[in-house]
Amino acid sequence: MHDFAPHASTAKEIAALLSDAPAGEALALIERYADDPRKQVQRAVASAQKRLERDEAERARVRGMYELQHELGGDGVVLGVDEVGRGSIAGPLTVCAVALPDDPMIWGINDSKQLTPAKREVLAAKIADVALAIGTCHIEPSLIDAIGMAQALRAAMSGAVKDAGVEPDCVLIDGNPMHIHPKEKTLVKGDARIAAIAAASIVAKVTRDHLMISYDEEYPEYHFAECKGYASAEHIAAIRAHGLTPIHRFSFCGNFLETPSLF
C-alpha cells in the first residue's frame, strides 16, 4: 500500500504515482497533493487532472452513442449496419450488422476509421464477447462487376441483416436510405454517433482486413496486407506490372492498365 503523506515520498515518486494511478486512485492523489509546493508535483497533479477530464469526456461521448441509439431505435433489438471496402479496387465489399446490449457499454467504441488497427482488434474482441447478434456478408468482386456497387451494397446489407439471425425492431444504417428493411432508419455519420453502427464498422473492418491479409499470401506482389485492396501507389504499380488477379474488380481497374481491353 502506498503512503500518501504529503512529504513522505519524493516528488519524483509522487509524480510516478499520479501518472500511473487508475481513475479512482488518481482523484484521491490529486486531492492529497493539490497544495504540495514542489513544481514537479504540481505538474504531475495538473497532468493527472487533465487525464481524468479526457477520460470523463470520452466516457460521456460513448454514453451519448448509446443514448442516441436508444432514442432512434427504441427498446427492442436494434441492428447497426455498416460497410467497408466500397472504394477498394480488389477484394470484397463487406457489411456487418451488430446488435449490442445496453449493458455493458463498450468503452472506446467509435467509427473504425478513427481507431488504430490495434485498438480495432481489441474492440472487435469485446464486441464479439457481448454482442446480442453479429451478421456478416461479403460481395465478391465478380458480382460487384456484374451488378454495380449500388446493388451490391443493398445485397450486402440485406445479407448481413439476415445473417445476424434475429428479427430486429429497428435497423440503423450509416449514410443514406438503402431501402433494405421495412424498419430501417439511416443517419449520416452514424458510425461515429450510434454504438451499434460503430460496432458494425469495427467488425466489418477487422473481418475484411484479415481476409485481405490472407490474400496477400496468395498474391504477394500486390501488397494486399498493407493496402487492403485500395489503390495505393504500390498496388497500382503491381497491377501495371503483373495485370489483374481474380480478386480485382475489373470495372474499377481500367485506368491502371496500359491496355484496358485485356480484360
Domain membership flag for residue 125: yes
CB 228 within 8 A of CB 91: yes
C-alpha cell at 126: 469485446
Kindly tell me the burial class for residue 116, based on how many C-beta atoms sit within 10 Å of its own C-beta (0-12, 13-18, 19 or more).
exposed
Give the residue ranges of DSSP H helices in the chain.
Answer: 11-20, 23-33, 39-73, 117-130, 141-147, 149-163, 195-218, 224-227, 233-242
* Contact (Cβ atoms closer than 8 angstroms) between residue 179 and residue 157: no
Q: Give how many domains the chain has, as a whole number.
A: 2
Least confident of 33-37, 79-83, 119-123, 230-234: 33-37
Q: Are residues 91 and 171 in the same domain?
A: yes
What does the pLDDT look like over 124-175, one tens digit per residue? Answer: 999 999 999 999 999 999 999 999 999 999 999 999 999 999 999 999 999 8
Mean pLDDT, residues 1-23: 70
In degrees, to the nearest 5, what angle opens at C-alpha 117 toward C-alphas 95 and 106? 70
Q: How many CB atoms lie within 10 A of CB 221?
A: 14
Q: CA separation (Å) from 144 to 151, 228, 260?
A: 8, 17, 18
Q: What is the CATH number of the domain that holds 138?
A: 3.30.420.10
pTM of the model: 0.85
Length of the chain: 263
Instruction: Examine the domain organization and report whether 97 and 23 are in the same domain.
Output: no
Mean pLDDT of 30-52: 88
pLDDT at 261 over 50: no
Amino acid (one-letter) located at 226: E
Q: In this structure, are 99 and 41 located in the same domain?
A: no
Identify whether 104 is preceded by a cis peptide bond (ω within 30 of 0): yes
Instruction: Give me the sign of the Cα torsion angle 88, 94, 95, 99.
Output: negative
Domain co-membership, 133 together with 184:
yes
Range of the domain at 193: 76-214
Which of 179, 199, 214 terminates a domain? The answer is 214
| Residue 112 and residue 20 in one domain | no
- Residue 161 is assigned to a structural domain of this protein: yes
